Amino acid sequence: MNKPNVLFLTIDTLRADRLSCYGFPSPITPNLDRLAAHGVRFEQAITGGSWTQAAFPVLLTSSYAAGYGGCLGPLAAERPAPIAALAAHGYTTAGFSTSPLLSRTYNYSRDFRHFVDFIPDEKEPSLREMRGGQKLLRQPITHVVMKSLGVQTRPAQLYVSAEKVVDGVMDWMRDAEQPFFGWVHFMDVHWPYHREETLTRPAEIARAWRDLSHLHAANWYGATISPAEKAHYIELYEQAVRFTDAQIGRLFDFLEQSGRMENTVIIAVADHGEEFLEHGRWGHWENNLHDEILRVPLLMRAPGVSGGMVVSRQVRTIDLMPTVLALCGVPPVDGMAGESLLPLVGKVGNYTAEVSISEMWRDEWHIIAVRTENHKLIWDSRRADSPELFDLRADPAERRNIAAEQPQMVAALKTHITAHMQHVADTMPADAVIAPDLDDEIVGRLRDLGYME
């Protein structure tokens, strides 16, 4: 058989428990469920980072977030380069990014022959910058008046929609030489959840502005989220999930109609989940290493791999690039920290990883979660002598810290933290990684996406 094509689909902020194939009662993800039915569903897939900057070095280079000088600056040249290895073995490579944190600015174009930064071309309404303007934007009458004057007052798009992204990917695939590796990142499930282009009625526009203001106040200043507001935000989130799934379905249909499906590996995974107040906050705050953030959906379809398979064993997103290379017949790349998952789906070999490492990393603050199938230890450098230990079987919601009751388990899991910290030190570059200079547009997008106050 010819070398397979690969579509590597990453969906920002997608919780596993919102997919029907993971047990969600409403059928809002029929296309991802179709992928699971014809492929493999991994029941316990654990991301290596609690937010995008920490998660993506793990996903795309099979290296830990805190290694190679950390994850806050551009993707370090010293990190393993599995995509370059694919190119060296005859693959056409393309990346399609919708996040400012995964852009050329942050060197995520590295090793791709073709790379597209999807950047929205909308500007916020000028009224937002005026004194008292934000209060006016939260009132429907403002939008009635401004609409009559032909002035657009809805929130500007913070990311290009999945519909336009899929259009761009299909255009590229029509002419791409095979075999190809295509990475496609979707942002639609990320806050603010609204599909801004669908906001046309004054009441809807005003409600969107109120939502933006309220969640900003809740996340940064402790404003309360009522049960009704929580239900509203979850409904918006689920609508975004449904929309994203529909666009991914268009991509699957294109593969079928163009005759590429049977020889294409498809991997769909989230970079991290989203918290709905399980531990007191909304969104994906980087210091949350609980399972609503770390346990992500992971689905894979590949030629020669049986469909409808479920892998219950814990696996890691750091294993995905080694798996891709194995599927493509490309030797492992030096420095990759993950293992191929193929032994878990009936292929030759052994999968040996028993522990997953996830982390939050800042220059002077490091949180590490060490997770097995039964326990999770969370160590925080700001309170290094007070780790938290959770029994994931008895307490899957991670409510009860049992560290004082099981000191031997704490000590055993801490050995993995010691080894990880040594790895971080060993890969530290001689020169510090410098965060890129960001223009006002990127800063504004990051602020509205919740990454800055």
Which tops the pLDDT comparison, 191 or 232? 232
Render pLDDT for 237-264 as a digit per residue (tens, 0 to 9): 999 999 999 999 999 999 999 999 999 9
Q: What is the pLDDT of residue 256?
A: 97
Max Cα separation, the chain?
Answer: 70
Please state, rounded to an integer, the average pLDDT across all residues of the chain. Answer: 92
Q: What is the pLDDT of residue 222?
A: 84
Q: What is the pLDDT of residue 154?
A: 86
Q: What is the pLDDT of residue 441?
A: 65
What average pLDDT does this structure show over 403-424? 96
What percentage of the chain exceeds 70 in pLDDT? 95
SS3 310: strand
What is the rounded CA–CA span in Å between residue 29 and residue 249?
9
Q: What is the pLDDT of residue 417?
A: 97
pLDDT band at 20 (very low <50, low <70, confident <90, very high): very high
Q: What is the pLDDT of residue 447?
A: 61
What is the rounded CA–CA span in Å between residue 342 and residue 345?
5
pLDDT band at 446 (very low <50, low <70, confident <90, very high): low
What is the rounded CA–CA span in Å between residue 265 and residue 253?
15
Structure tokens at 243: 């929309």
pLDDT band at 64 (very low <50, low <70, confident <90, very high): very high
Q: What is the pLDDT of residue 85?
A: 98
Q: Which amino acid does the sequence have at 13? A: T
Render pLDDT for 181-217 as a digit per residue (tens, 0 to 9): 999 999 999 988 888 778 889 899 889 899 988 988 8
Q: What is the pLDDT of residue 451?
A: 59
What pTM value is reported for the model?
Answer: 0.93
What average pLDDT does this structure show over 435-450? 65
Per-residue DSSP letter, 150: T
Which domains, ranges and CATH numbers included, belong to the chain? 5-122+157-448 (3.40.720.10)
- Measured in degrees and rounded to the nearest 5, phi and psi for residue 197 equal -65, -15
Per-residue DSSP letter, 343: G
Render pLDDT for 309-348 as a digit per residue (tens, 0 to 9): 999 999 999 999 999 999 999 999 999 999 999 999 988 8
Structure tokens at 202: 């004054």
pLDDT at 443 exceeding the cut of 70: no
pLDDT band at 429 (very low <50, low <70, confident <90, very high): confident
pLDDT at 97 exceeding the cut of 60: yes
| CA separation, residue 254 to residues 97, 124, 258, 356, 452 (Å) | 20, 35, 6, 36, 38
Task: Count other C-beta atoms under 10 Å from residue 310's C-beta.
Answer: 10
Q: What is the pLDDT of residue 25?
A: 96
Q: What is the pLDDT of residue 216?
A: 85
What is the rounded CA–CA span in Å between residue 69 and residue 78?
10
SS3 295: strand
Render pLDDT for 359-371 as a digit per residue (tens, 0 to 9): 998 878 999 999 9
Radius of gyration of the chain (CA): 22
Q: What is the pLDDT of residue 346?
A: 87
For residues 79 and 68, the answer to whether their CB atoms sit within 8 Å is: yes
- Smallest CA-to-CA distance from 435 within 75, 64, 95 is with 75
The string of DSSP letters for 218-259 reads HHHH-----HHHHHHHHHHHHHHHHHHHHHHHHHHHHHHHTT
What average pLDDT does this structure show over 406-423? 97
